[in-house]
Chains A and B, each alone.
Chain A
Amino acid sequence: MKHTLKQLKKAAREVRLSAEEKSLMREALVRHMEFRPVRNIDSSRLQLVKGFGLIPSPFSISHLRNKKFMPILAILGLLMSGSVSFAAENTVPGDVLYPVKVHVNETVRGAVAVTPQAKAQWDVRLVERRLEEVEKLAATPDALPEVKEAAQVNLEQYTDRVGERIAKFEEDEDGEDALKTAGLLAEVLSAHEVSLANLAKAGGSGATTLGVDPTASTTTLVAATSTTTMSATTPTDVASLLEVLSKLREVRGHAEEKHHELKKKYHEEDTEDNLDKDGDEGIPMNGTAGVTNGATVVLDANATGTVPVAGAAAGAATSASISQGIRIGDHEDAMRSQGEHQEEVRTALGAGASIILPTIQKDAERDEEEQKTERNND
């Protein structure tokens, strides 16, 4: 039977994974990669990042970061205490506690989002968290490039997820939500682009914080770093910031394109307003130039975030105010349902939720603060 081998080979060629099987496996692998990310040995991120005033939260257990792979049981044990979830909030990819941030904190908080709209908003919030991670890493000179790239990849993934939500809304003929979500995303991306640009421009005078834990007290640590910073940022810091900035700009561009597209589709009368607002004249100063689109900051809550917003609002052209008016309308809706979202979380979790509540509360406070700022800026 000379043909046996040939037949064997032929039969063999036909055995393969179905597309679905393959993508299921791929997803499982991605989850595994998130769980066990590539590790740094000796990064000292967030310890003393000179010139950026990034300080570890007093509650952080950063001395435990990246020493060794902590046994799962130890992590679980720590989780029971509650402060771990809290401390995990400021981690970035590569940290020991980062899996806690993504798989515990975010899962719990995401679980409360029931409606597709709430889920979409939460997904945008997740994009923002990934953005914050990218920013933190960009501000750290000793972070390994792989970690930075992992953060960028994450950002991409989550942005894609939002894209999928928008597509789903479109499919379901839900123009309003598609538009809202696209708008939210574009604003979030713009706002962060602005603050990043400020950072690069200011060269880290120590006064700017990057959406880090606001409850972190301004201890002597900050004072020390501020005074010790001479020519704060080394050339490489700015360079990596600019790199992140340009990539972010690209993503933001896509998001805004999508937003315009949807706007045209569902709100014909608003088309001409925003078409030329993407003016990127190099790095915008204090966010006046390129910011008119992102004038309303939706979810980001850093203290300095309000400065560029005020500046932009003041200096904005009249045509921008039309877009702002519309935006604020959407924005308030978004804020309102975010507030509701927070309420749900509180009631749903009830008494035994002391673990997660502190973090959520922090968010809620930030959001409320923003709402006030927004109203003032009207």
Chain B
Amino acid sequence: MKFRGPEEQFLEWHEQFADAIFRHCVFRLSDREKAKDVTQETFIRLWNYMAVTNQQIRGSAGEIKNVRAFLYRIANNLIIDEYRRKETVSLDQMRDEESFDIGFEVREDYETHDEADRLMRVVGELPEKYREVLILRHVDGLSVKDIARMLDETENVVSVRIHRAIEKLKILTV
């Protein structure tokens, strides 16, 4: 028995996107536990949206055109909130304080393990603005266009920022 109500749809979306959103959060927040919380909150908000819009659109579940982009936007906002919470902390302090709990999910490939660790740490050292676009583009694989729309910037600005992020990254990994 297959029921295609909003609940089914929602859970399917969770199945499909939870990992991606989680990954994004881990890189942005450098904290696995917090990343889980944010991921869950992201989906909760998605559901709330679905529950409400269904009310208004008679007969059909609220149609969400691009769930993926929608989810990223929600997550991004939540991440920004997280950062604001650590408001009066300077960038340096932030860097020291953040725990780099990547967790146990990295495979038993020791070479990559160290590399991965190192890279994540380095990414964590990037300024937030750079990190944001870098991850969205090269970890999440979003298009520059989508990123621009999400961040409410021009594509040009986004491109430039990504480029600078990569440069910074290279410097840091030397």
Contact = CB atoms under 8 A, between A and B. Distances in A.
A8 interface: yes
A146 interface: yes
Interface in B12-34: 14, 18-19, 22-23, 26-27
**How many interface residues does chain A have, given as a range?**
35 or more
Interface stretch (A33-41, A182-190, A318-326): A33-41
Contacts of B119: 4, 7-8, 11
B157 interface: no
B22 A16 contact: yes
A118 B59 CA distance: 41
Contact of A41 (B26, B36, B55): B55
A15 B23 contact: yes
Contact of B116 (A10, A30, A250): A10
Interface string B56-96: 10110100000000000000000000000000000000000
Contacts of A250: 1
Given A29-B40, A32-B44, A146 B169 contact: no
Secondary structure at chain A's binding surface: helix, strand, loop or mixed? Answer: helix
Which of B7, B11, B112 has the largest count of A CB atoms less than 10 A from its CB? B7
B11 A29 contact: yes
A22 B169 CA distance: 31
Contacts of A11: 106, 112, 115-116, 119-120
Interface string A328-359: 00000000000000000000000000000000
A114 interface: no
A29 B47 contact: yes
A240 B59 CA distance: 16
Contacts of A29: 10-11, 14, 40, 43-44, 47
Nearest to B117: A11
Contacts of A283: none
Interface in B100-126: 102-107, 112, 115-116, 119-120, 123
A152 B1 contact: yes
Contact of B6 (A9, A14, A38): A38
B105 A15 contact: yes
Contact of B19 (A1, A17, A32, A41): A17
A247 interface: yes
B5 A153 contact: yes
Given A38-B54, A149-B3, A1 B44 contact: no
B9 to A, nearest CB: 10
A5 B39 contact: no
A113 B16 CA distance: 37
Interface residues of B, number: 51
Contacts of B139: 8-9, 12
Interface string A151-174: 011001000000000000000000
A25 B13 CA distance: 13
A145 B59 contact: yes
A150 B5 contact: yes
Contacts, number: 131
Contacts of A32: 44, 47
A15 B22 contact: yes
Contacts of A28: 40
A149 B40 contact: no
B160 interface: no
Contacts of A26: 11, 14
A144 interface: yes
A18 interface: yes
A269 interface: no
A276 interface: no
Contacts of B7: 33, 38, 149-150, 153
Contacts of B54: 38-39, 146
Given A5-B138, A18-B105, A12 B170 contact: no
Nearest to B141: A9
A127 B5 CA distance: 20
Contacts of A144: 58-59
A360 interface: no
A352 to B, nearest CB: 34
A18 B35 CA distance: 13
A21 B35 CA distance: 12
A96 to B, nearest CB: 13
A251 interface: yes
Contacts of A146: 5-6, 54, 61
Given A26-B14, A29-B14, A38-B51, A12 B1 contact: no
B120 A14 contact: no
B3 A153 contact: yes
A21 B6 contact: no
A17 B14 CA distance: 12
Given A4-B170, A16-B22, 8 more contacts: A10-B115, A11-B120, A14-B112, A16-B19, A29-B14, A32-B47, A39-B52, A156-B1
Top 3 A-B pairs, shortest CB-CB distance: A11-B116, A149-B5, A12-B139
